[in-house]
Structures are given as structure tokens and as C-alpha cells.
């Protein structure tokens, strides 16, 4: 039997690359402060729209872009709690975008999720080693996104 996460379960969580624990407000407070914001970056309009709808149904504010080149200046001008980043895009691919995000001190702590059809474990490990916090395999659904958000300690 699955139990719901209680308010204080996730007050201390490890940082995305193991720099130690950081204190977060209790989950209930994080949910009530304001709507979380996600930036969805995918060159495929259908995939962008599907992800946007799933996040919006979970109460998130979602914005979309269709290229990695547009994402970098956009991220420096706007605040997001999460970036959903397609791996296979023309021009700058998702791995390169993620590495540039990680190199930018102004974006430190931003959670970046690989959004891909590449489901093999070796590929997912390569994405995590390249700087992604987690991997969400396409096609997505509400349950998969909810599980991801709970694993990232972002409530739904």
C-alpha cells in the first residue's frame, strides 16, 4: 500500500550534484507559496503541447520554446523551477544546452530534466552524467510527471 508523502518528509534533500543538503520549506508550504513554473524546450510542436497540458493539469505554469538556442537567453531573463529539455533537436542539442546551463552560475540549482524517447539505461546514465537531474521518457503521462516531481521534491 502506498502512503502519501507527509508535510515534513522532504525538508532536507541533496542538491542535484551532491554538494550537500539544502533546507527547503516543508512540502505543504512549497505547494501553497505560488505555482511552480516549467520551461518546456522541444523542437516538436506535438511533444511541447503534450508536456504543456500535463504540467498545466498538475497546476504548473508552463511555457514552451522550440530550440536550445532560444532557451539560454530566455532562462537568464526568467525564473523557472524546472526545465524539461528535449535531447534530440536540430542546432544545439539538449545535452549541449544542459552543459551551458550548468556552466552559468546565475542558473545554479535549476533542475533540468532530459525529455527523450531514448529509454535505454545506458543512455539515461549518460544524460545524468552530462548534468541532467533526471530523465523523463516520451511519451509522457500525468503519473510519470507526478512521480518525477515527487522525486525532485517539487510537489504537484
Backbone angles phi and psi of 13, in degrees to 5: -135, 150
Q: How far apart are CA 117 and CA 135, in angstroms?
A: 10
What's residue 35's pLDDT? Answer: 82
What's residue 119's pLDDT? Answer: 78
Describe the crossing of helices 94-103 and 68-77 by its angle, rounded to 10 degrees. Answer: 30
Helical ranges in the chain per DSSP H: 27-33, 45-57, 68-77, 94-103, 121-129, 142-151
What's residue 33's pLDDT? Answer: 41
129 pLDDT higher than 70: yes
The predicted-structure confidence for 11-20, as pLDDT tens digits, reads as follows: 333 334 444 3
In the chain, what's the furthest Cα-to-Cα distance? 46
Q: What are the residue boundaries of the structural domains of the chain, listed by start?
A: 36-151
CA nearest neighbour of 38 among 28, 53, 25: 53
Query: Across residues 88-109, what is the average pLDDT?
Result: 95
Q: How far apart are CA 137 and CA 140, in angstroms?
A: 6
Cell numbers representing residue 32 in the block: 501553497
Q: How far apart are CA 98 and CA 59, in angstroms?
A: 25
> Among residues of the chain, what percentage have pLDDT more than 70?
77
Can you identify the CATH homologous superfamily of domain 36-151? Response regulator (3.40.50.2300)
Band the pLDDT of 24: cuts 50, 70, 90.
very low
Q: Is the dihedral of CA 68, 19, 62, 141 positive or negative?
A: positive
Amino acid at each position: 500500500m502506498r502512503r502519501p508523502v507527509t508535510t515534513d518528509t522532504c525538508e532536507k534533500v541533496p542538491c542535484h550534484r551532491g554538494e550537500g543538503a539544502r533546507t527547503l520549506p516543508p512540502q505543504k508550504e512549497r505547494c501553497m507559496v505560488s505555482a511552480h513554473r516549467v520551461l518546456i524546450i522541444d523542437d516538436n510542436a506535438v511533444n511541447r503541447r503534450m508536456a504543456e497540458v500535463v504540467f498545466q493539469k498538475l497546476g504548473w505554469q508552463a511555457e514552451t520554446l522550440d530550440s536550445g538556442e532560444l532557451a539560454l537567453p530566455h532562462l537568464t531573463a526568467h525564473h523557472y523551477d524546472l526545465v524539461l529539455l528535449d535531447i534530440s533537436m536540430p542546432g544545439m542539442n539538449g545535452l549541449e544546452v544542459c552543459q551551458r546551463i550548468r556552466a552559468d552560475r546565475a542558473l545554479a540549482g535549476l533542475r533540468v530534466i532530459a525529455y527523450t524517447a531514448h529509454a535505454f539505461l545506458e543512455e539515461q546514465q549518460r544524460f545524468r552524467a552530462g548534468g541532467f537531474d533526471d530523465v523523463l521518457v516520451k511519451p509522457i503521462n500525468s503519473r510519470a510527471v507526478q512521480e518525477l516531481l515527487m522525486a525532485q521534491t517539487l510537489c504537484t
